[in-house]
């Protein structure tokens, strides 16, 4: 085997630090409407707020050395700290065989912020003993932003040439959108029995799938599990989903 800084992608030591702060809160209440014990009717409403702030730092130290041959699988002699010392040769010249350099690329330091504010109101209404309706509206506002720390401090716009990293442009990931998500459920009580009730339920709802902070980041990071670089896409958008459900219970 051969090992060294000039073979393949070289030898790297990565030190990674991630700060991930999440605040999640929600409140809900319900009010009874005019009804009876056999015909329960109520109004439900509430809200939620979630804040997620991420800060990621990566320090990439690359071993600078010439290629050497290994006669076994033991790497300890190669990485012996003595190999990284300054030595003196027979002529009194100072030499160093191995040393680390820091590849301090701006994209190694990123941040992201995500805030989601939501509110809903719905009614749970028994029409007659065998028919019940439940439905309402949920409103969500999502604001997500992620970028390289240095580029954000410099106020660089998207596609600025100073954002170029190799053949890839490191653009900020932005998402600011309000979604209106209705839902409606109609339940027919075929047999009202506490031990063995039978219901027929029809449901319609709208939901949304939104990208995470990491998925919006254009920065490429090496993943040791996949043994490949993982990169996001700053152009991702929310995906609206319509759900239809018919159930026999």
Question: pLDDT tens digit string along 38-70?
Answer: 788 999 999 999 999 999 999 999 988 877 787
Return the minimum-mean-pLDDT range out of 31-45, 132-146, 170-184.
31-45
Higher pLDDT, 199 or 194: 199
Predicted structure pTM score: 0.83
Continuous segment of H or E residues that includes residue 58 = strand 41-64
Dihedral sign, Cα of residue 231, residue 232, residue 234, residue 236: positive
DSSP at 92: S
Residue 79 pLDDT greater than 90, yes or no: no
User: What local confidence, expressed as pLDDT, does residue 34 receive?
Assistant: 83
Binned at pLDDT 50, 70 and 90, residue 86 comes out as: confident
Q: How many alpha carbons lie under 13 Å from residue 7 in its C-beta half-sphere?
A: 10
Binned at pLDDT 50, 70 and 90, residue 12 comes out as: confident
Cα gap 151→169, rounded to integer Å: 12
Higher pLDDT, 81 or 153: 153
User: What local confidence, expressed as pLDDT, does residue 97 receive?
Assistant: 80
User: What local confidence, expressed as pLDDT, does residue 212 receive?
Assistant: 94
Mean pLDDT across the chain: 91
Q: Are 146 and 103 in contact (CB under 8 A)?
A: no
What DSSP string runs through 188-225?
Answer: EEEE--SSS-EEEEEEEEEEEE---HHHH---EEEETT
User: What local confidence, expressed as pLDDT, does residue 28 receive?
Assistant: 97
Cα 167 from chain centre: 24
Continuous segment of H or E residues that includes residue 150 = helix 149-153
Residue 208 pLDDT greater than 90, yes or no: yes
DSSP at 153: H
Cα gap 154→151, rounded to integer Å: 5
Q: pLDDT tens digits for 169-182?
A: 999 999 999 999 99
């Amino acid at each position: 085997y051969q090992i060294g800084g000039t073979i393949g992608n070289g030898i790297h030591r990565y030190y990674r630090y991630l700060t991930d702060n999440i605040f999640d809160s929600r409140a809900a209440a319900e009010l009874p409407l005019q009804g009876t014990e056999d015909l329960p009717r109520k109004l439900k409403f509430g809200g939620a707020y979630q804040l997620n702030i991420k800060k990621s730092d990566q320090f990439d130290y690359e071993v600078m050395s010439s290629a050497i041959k290994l006669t076994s699988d033991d790497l300890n002699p190669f990485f012996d700290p003595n190999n990284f010392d300054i030595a003196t040769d027979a002529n009194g010249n100072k030499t160093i065989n191995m040393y680390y350099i820091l590849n301090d690329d701006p994209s190694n330091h990123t941040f992201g912020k995500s805030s989601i504010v939501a509110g809903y109101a719905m009614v749970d209404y028994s029409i007659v003993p065998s028919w019940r309706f439940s439905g309402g509206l949920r409103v969500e506002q999502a604001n997500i932003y992620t970028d390289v720390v240095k580029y954000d401090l410099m106020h660089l716009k998207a596609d600025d040439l100073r954002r170029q990293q190799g053949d890839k442009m490191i653009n900020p990931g932005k998402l600011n959108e309000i979604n209106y998500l209705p839902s409606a459920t109609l339940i027919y009580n075929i047999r009202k029995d506490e031990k063995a009730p039978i219901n027929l339920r029809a449901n319609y709802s709208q939901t949304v799938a939104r990208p995470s902070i990491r998925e919006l980041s254009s920065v490429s990071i090496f993943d040791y599990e996949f043994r490949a670089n993982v990169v996001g896409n700053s152009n991702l958008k929310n995906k609206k989903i319509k759900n239809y459900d018919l159930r026999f219970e």
